[in-house]
């Protein structure tokens, strides 16, 4: 099995606030991230697919196709957006890196699956900053 | 899906690789420049990975404030700007290679109460990195460390 990773960047705003918490609790738990005017990050997403290369093309999947999927499903929906207001999949959730990578997995897995004949989405790594990242993979890996 | 969160820290520290019972020549044959008498240093980069489910109230596996203060208290306060051989008790009789450093730091971090510590990865330089991954079954490392702590 061969793995292929494509990297992309998007910029987005967010803040953390749980309406069930008091103002004081929100500040204590979320710190500066609770600032209601929001703040932003340059997110970096690494998308890894795993599979056997097609003997006709030598490829797991066509990188142009992967780029089109990522442009449509990630860049168009997340780049220069506000995660609290502009992304319906995050409604009712705190838009942390953990929640965001789970949303990206649920979007990308079905989008990529029909394009790979002998493989699958293997792994997502989402960097919020160089010092903080989350990994998402299939259960049992 | 399985989720993990990784936080990256850094600390400069010095060390020397040698065995007291070996001759200078033997130490240099095995450890090379790392055996030089007065030691040398690195900017270590430390990655700490935690796993667990997302708490729906916070959207988090672990609050970074909790993780940061735990790593600071358990590791960085002792290791930052230290001489590993002279100042870290675990290295009194253990050679402070980065392999051993991974194990020592994993043990120190293993009792984090907010999430499971899954992995410790250390870059000694941009070219060398080492990692220690938690065993799937309850870790012997953890059990030993807990035992020592309770009896110290």
pLDDT at A141: 53
The H or E element that residue B120 is part of is: strand B116-123
What is the rounded (10 degree) CA torsion for B18, B22, B23, B24? -10
Using the beta-carbon criterion (under 8 Å), do B6 and A20 form an inter-chain contact? no
- Model confidence over B8-20: pLDDT tens digits? 999 999 999 999 9
pLDDT at A139: 75
The residues pairing with B7 across neighbouring beta strands, listed in sequence order, are A132, B48
Q: Beta-carbon neighbour count of residue B83 at 10 Å?
A: 15
pLDDT at B139: 47
* CA B34 to chain CA mean position, Å: 19
Using the beta-carbon criterion (under 8 Å), do B57 and A138 form an inter-chain contact? no
Indicate whether B143 pLDDT > 80.
no
- Closest residue in A to B48 (Cα) is A132
Residue among B117, B80, B106, B3 nearest A136 (CA)? B3
Counting DSSP H helices and E strands in chain A, the numbers are: 5, 5
Q: Is B102 a catalytic residue?
A: no
Is residue B42 a contact partner of residue B125, using CB atoms and an 8 Å limit? yes
SS3 per-residue string spanning A76-140 = HHHCCEEHHHHCHHHCCCCCCHHHHHHHHHHHHHHHHHHHCCCEEEEEEEEEEECCEEEEEECCC
- Model confidence over B51-93: pLDDT tens digits? 999 999 999 999 999 999 999 999 999 999 999 999 999 999 9
Residue among B83, B78, B79, B82 nearest B38 (CA)? B83
- Model confidence over B24-38: pLDDT tens digits? 999 999 999 999 999
Indicate whether B152 pLDDT > 60.
no
Residue among B60, B49, B5, B115 nearest A136 (CA)? B5
The H or E element that residue B99 is part of is: helix B98-109
pLDDT at A140: 56
Is residue A123 a contact partner of residue A136, using CB atoms and an 8 Å limit? yes
Is residue A98 a contact partner of residue B54, using CB atoms and an 8 Å limit? yes
pLDDT at B149: 45
Helix axes A97-112, A63-70, angle to 10 degrees: 130
Across the interface, of B2, B4, B8, the residue whose CB is closest to A130 is: B8
Task: Write phi, then psi, for A55 (nearest 5 degrees).
Answer: -60, -25
pLDDT at A138: 86
Q: Is A80 a catalytic residue?
A: yes
**Residue B126 forms contact with A (CB below 8 Å):** no
Question: What is the predicted ipTM?
Answer: 0.86
Indicate whether B113 pLDDT > 50.
yes
- Model confidence over B99-110: pLDDT tens digits? 999 999 999 999
- Out of A9, A25, A65, A80, the active site residue is A80
Indicate whether B150 pLDDT > 50.
no
**Residue B63 forms contact with A (CB below 8 Å):** yes
Taking the CA of residue A35 as centre, how many other CA atoms within 13 Å lie in the half-sphere pointing to its CB? 8
* pLDDT by residue, tens only, chain A of 141 residues: 899 999 999 999 999 999 999 999 999 999 999 999 999 999 999 999 999 999 998 999 999 999 999 999 999 999 999 999 999 999 999 999 999 999 999 999 999 998 887 889 999 999 999 999 999 998 755
């Amino acid at each position: 099995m061969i793995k292929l990773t494509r990297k992309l960047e998007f910029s987005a705003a967010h803040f953390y606030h749980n309406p069930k918490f008091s103002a004081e609790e929100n500040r204590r738990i979320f710190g500066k991230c609770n600032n209601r005017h929001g703040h932003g990050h340059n997110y970096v997403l690494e998308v890894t697919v795993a599979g056997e290369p097609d003997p006709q093309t030598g490829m797991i999947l066509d990188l142009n196709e992967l780029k089109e999927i990522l442009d449509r499903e990630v860049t168009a929906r997340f780049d220069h957006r506000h995660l609290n207001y502009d992304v319906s999949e995050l409604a009712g959730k705190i838009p942390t890196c953990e929640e965001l990578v789970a949303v990206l997995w649920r979007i990308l897995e079905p989008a990529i699956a029909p394009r790979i004949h002998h493989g699958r989405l293997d792994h997502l790594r989402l960097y919020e900053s160089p010092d903080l990242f989350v990994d998402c993979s299939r259960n049992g890996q | 899906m399985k989720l993990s969160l990784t936080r990256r820290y850094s600390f400069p520290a010095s060390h020397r690789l040698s065995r007291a019972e070996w001759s200078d020549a033997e130490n240099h044959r095995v450890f090379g420049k790392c055996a030089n008498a007065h030691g040398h240093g690195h900017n270590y980069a430390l990655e700490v990975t935690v796993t667990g489910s997302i708490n729906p109230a916070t959207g988090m596996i672990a609050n970074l404030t909790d993780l940061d203060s735990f790593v600071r208290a358990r590791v960085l306060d002792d290791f930052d700007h230290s001489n590993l051989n002279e100042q870290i008790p675990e290295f009194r009789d253990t050679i402070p290679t980065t392999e051993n450093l991974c194990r020592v730091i994993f043990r120190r971090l293993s009792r984090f109460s907010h999430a499971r510590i899954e992995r410790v990865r250390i870059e000694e330089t941009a070219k060398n990195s080492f990692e220690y991954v938690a065993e799937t079954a309850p870790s012997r490392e953890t059990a030993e460390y807990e035992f020592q702590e309770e009896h110290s």
